[in-house]
Structure 1
Amino acid sequence: MTRSLMKAIVTTGNGGYEKLVYKDVAIPTLQPGEVLVKVLAAGVNNTEINTRLGWYSSSVTESTNETADEDDTLQSSDGGWNKETPFPFIQGTDCCGQVVGAADGVDSDLLNKRVLVRPCTRESDFNSLDNIWMGSDFDGAFAQYVKVRASEVFPITCDWTDAELGTIPCAYGTSENMLHRAQLKAGETVLVTGASGGVGSATVQLAKRRGAKVIAVAGKEKLEAVAKIGADILLDRSADLLEVLGEQSVYVVVDNVAGSEFPTMLKLLKRGGRLVSSGAIAGPIVDLDMRDMYLNDITLIGTTVWDEPVFPNLVRYIEQGEIQPLLAKTFPLSSIAEAQQEFLLKKHVGKFVLIPPSDES
């Protein structure tokens, strides 16, 4: 490659959209075992907004939207995933791309392959939960090129567009990991909160794929779209879930909303039920009546680190036509602030995706 510079969004620190700077930066230099990926599409996620805002700091108690609306920006050394964020750096957790370079020791067969990048990397091996994330701990996909370990790229053969594939890694990986950890079985009933969002809509599809009965909770105006991806029962998020469903009515709750409705989720679970979560968009501080948990043998499962089968499973599901993409809208990479502003309105179903400029642009 003769070029030395690329376009990228550099996040310069905690704060508002002014911290997202579109500029020329050096194309990454490969180290042994790494590949260079030309980014074809990069999805937009809550996690990038949360990291920019410093929402992961233990000092934050509000929802993502409330934090984004604050007049005073948070400056916190633990504003990443309760550790220091490596500002300035390039965010971007989702990547569909093409391998265009390979360092020594990397299988040359990867060159020119269209790939999905697994953003959650185990630092040693799958026997340890120690991990780092692309776009949170090291430079990510909000750029024309990104470098990653060769072990984290997965060639994929399908008729999906680049943008459609760009909806997959973070949302579907997070969802598949939750269902894997919760051991959701065919015939079980699962309640999915926030079912119209990226992770929620992925969970509806992946739970149906496992043969579960899916109860989806979302805004009234989005329920029709959620029905099209397989939800069996549709409930408006303002519904009284205990009144409609009754106590001890579901086997598994997948709850990335949290906030004030968290106590209800425990009461909905059958004895021996499981609640699994990887987020808290309505607020991280919740009420927990321990009696609802221990008297009913409830298992609470927190998930961030992905288990080994998760990403290969997703590639297989796509190639076998077992899931579908939910692409809400695409934006040029340079319009990231507009994309994040619209993202926070929560009027869309599925994922927003950023498209970097071509080399000729």
Structure 2
Amino acid sequence: MTTVETMRAMRITRHGGPEVLEAATVPVPAPQAGEVLVRVAAVALNNTDLWTREGAYGNPEDPQALSGWRGPIDFPRVQGADVSGRVAAVGPGVDGDLVGRRVVVDPAIYDSGGPDANPVGLMGSERDGGYAEYVTAPAELVHDMTDSPLTFDQLAALPTAYGTALGMIERGRLQDGETALVTGASGGVGLALIQIARARGARVIAVSSAAKIEAVREAGAHEVLDRARDLAGQIRAAAPEGVDVALDVVAGDLLADGLPLLREGGRWVVAGALGGYGAAFDVRRLYLHNAQVIGSAMHTPRHFGLLMDLARRAAIRPVVSAGLPLERAAEAQEELARRRHVGKLVLHP
């Protein structure tokens, strides 16, 4: 049991730019019944951190409304969804043998307790996250990774990016031998999609900026296309028989341009809107070709369990770009927003 009473944390008290991240000394949270207390070793950054801080998610009634991942945020809020660390203490009803184990926290808040539950909240948005020395989490969402050869930084890179990627691949039903198109390929989710799709036996065509093509190819893509050139033409040349599954975090105009490039029965899976959240397309491309457009928000508990199994075997190895101390969280978020790096940025409390 930890005897520390206070801890350092980086939190937001309102929506805004990086300047709203503030350092604070706050009480160490006490694990409640069914919870564990994790001493944070590493917390990875995600676009969700930026958009939650900015309040950029909107809501169904008002797309311009300031909102966290799934609604208004209770301020102050400690950010950070992606946590690896060691269990420091357990609450009532939790096996004490977990203390000292290396763990990864599933950051999702689910709508039910089943293996196919949907995420309806996120650590760092709807509850306090890992931009701190300690964080609490439900014991059933804490996965023992003591036997994994991955480092704490690599483990922290897994939950949101790789969880989102595996959720997309599972919902898109990507199979061995199929052709997958990956957009935004140099980002955290994009690199995860490449690695997991390759592990499935798929042929991977990735889309990236020219400056990052070699890094994306090194991550495992079979072909890498320059997003600044005639993208539809490049995709047709790379996949003349069509794409089986598009794994898309860009959306916008790409969705309309890309649907005709699917094979019969193809699936276009959307899990982001880096290119804009407004999209219009010809619905005939759906019903005449038995195509599907599938929304994918993160992962289910079953997906996350599959991801942890991959990580224990080191079948995937996240790329970590840089690590910074917790107090430089605002600087790290600014660097994330510039999108000049390849791989994950990680904070060390």
What RMSD, in angstroms, separates the aligned Cα atoms of the two structures?
1.6
Tell me, in whole angstroms, the C-alpha distance in 2 between the residues paired with 1:176 and 1:300: 17
2:230 aligned with 1:237: no
Structure 2 unaligned blocks of 5 or more:
none
Which residue is equivalent to 2:99? 111
Bigger Cα displacement from structure 2, 209-218 vs 234-243: 234-243
Give the corresponding residue for 1:69.
none
In the other structure, the counterpart of 2:330 is 337
Partner in structure 1 of residue 143 of structure 2: 154
2:212 pairs with 217, 222, 245, which one? 222
The amino acid that maps onto 2:188 is G
CA deviation string 1:25-70 (max 9, x = no partner): 1110221000000000000000011011111014557xxxxxxxxx
> Kindly tell me: are residues 248 and 280 of structure 1, through their superposed partners in 2, closer, same or farther at Cα, counting changes over 3 Å?
farther
Is the 2:108–2:119 contact (alpha carbons within 8 Å) kept by the matching residues of 1? no
Q: Does 1:290 align with 2:287?
A: no
* Contact 1:192 1:215 (8 Å CA) reproduced: yes
One-letter code of the match for 1:95?
V
1:13 aligns with 2:2: no
Query: Does the alignment pair 1:85 with 2:86?
Result: no
Instruction: Name the SS of the counterpart of 1:289 in structure 2.
Output: coil
State the alpha-carbon separation in 2 of the partners of residues 262 and 123 from structure 1: 29
Q: Which residue of 2 is the match for residue 279 of structure 1?
A: 272
AA in 1 matched with 2:16: G
How far the C-alpha of 1:242 sits from its partner, in A, is 2.3
Asked if the contact 1:248–1:271 (Cα under 8 Å) also holds between the matched residues in 2, the reply is no
Whether contact under 8 Å (1:248, 1:267) holds in the other structure is: no
CA contact (8 A) 2:118 2:300 kept: no
Query: Which residue in 1 is equivalent to 2:172?
Result: 182
Distance 2:336 2:172 in 1: 28
Q: CA offset at residue 164 of structure 1?
A: 1.9
1:171-192 CA-partner distances (Å, limit 9, x unpaired): 0011011101111000000000
Q: 1:52 maps to which residue?
A: 53
Deviation at residue 269 of structure 1 after TM alignment:
0.8
Amino acid at match of 1:339: A
Distance 1:128 1:45 in 2: 22
Partners of 2:273 and 2:220 in 1: CA distance: 24
Deviation at 1:248, TM superposition (A): 6.0
- Residue 133 of structure 1 pairs with residue 134 of structure 2: no
Report the alpha carbon displacement of residue 308 of structure 1 after superposing the two structures with TM: 2.8
Rounded Cα–Cα distance in structure 2 between residues aligned with 1:321 and 1:92: 24
Q: Displacement of 1:133 after TM fit?
A: 1.5
CA distance in 2, matches of 1:43, 1:158: 18
Equivalent position of 2:30 in the other structure: 29
Gaps of 5+ in 1: 62-75, 357-361
Partner secondary structure for residue 32 of structure 2: coil
In 2, distance between residues paired with 1:121 and 1:79?
17
2:132 partner letter? A
Q: Compared with structure 1, are the counterparts of its residues 305 and 319 closer, same or farther at alpha carbon in structure 2 (3 Å cutoff)?
A: closer
Shift, 1:257, TM fit = 0.7
Letter in 2 for 1:298: A
Indicate conservation of the 8 Å contact 2:69/2:121, yes or no: no
Q: What count of residue pairs does the alignment treat as equivalent?
A: 341
Match of 2:83 in 1: 95
Q: Identify which range, 159-168 or 26-35, moves more after superposition.
A: 159-168
What is the SS of the residue equivalent to 1:95? strand
1:65 maps to none
Retained in 1: the 8 A contact 2:45–2:344? yes
- 1:219-271 CA-to-partner distances (Å, cap 9, x unmatched) read 11111111112111110111323222327610000110112222112121112
- Match for residue 346 of structure 1 among 339, 344, 347: 339
- Answer whether contact 1:131 1:305 (CA < 8 A) is retained: no
Query: Residue 242 of structure 1: SS of its match in structure 2?
Result: helix
CA distance in 2 between counterparts of 1:308 and 1:96 reads 17
